[in-house]
Every structure is written in structure tokens, then in C-alpha cells.
Amino acid sequence: MNVQRAQEIAESAVMANVTYQGNPVFIQHVDHDKETARIYPLNESENEQVVPVHSLEEH
């Protein structure tokens, strides 16, 4: 995924089908400069992590 699309998803009110390493995730924030996203698994909101945007997949 590219940074611009990740930002669009993060700002959207519509839940997108995005995965990280095969697990459904929610994108909280996108850092354009570092090209990273702060995410958490849909079933583990306390398990936040920062990952490279290119490692996210939209289905």
C-alpha cells in the first residue's frame, strides 16, 4: 500500500479491509515522512504497533 492510500483509509469513516501479515488491522495514524502507520489488530486494540506502510495490504 502507498502512503497516500493509507492516509485516506485512516481518515475515512468507512472501515476498509486492511491486513498486516494476514491479520485484519485498523490504521490509526500515518507518518508521511517515515512512511509508517500506527495500527492495531481489530480484536486487540491495546496491541498498537508502528509498521511500514508498504507492509499493509488492502483487500
Tell if the pTM clears 0.85, that is, is over it.
yes
One DSSP character per residue, 21-33 reads TTEEEEEEEEETT
Percentage with pLDDT > 90 across the chain: 92
* Domain locations in the chain as residue ranges: 3-58
pLDDT in tens, 2-28: 999 999 999 998 889 999 999 999 999
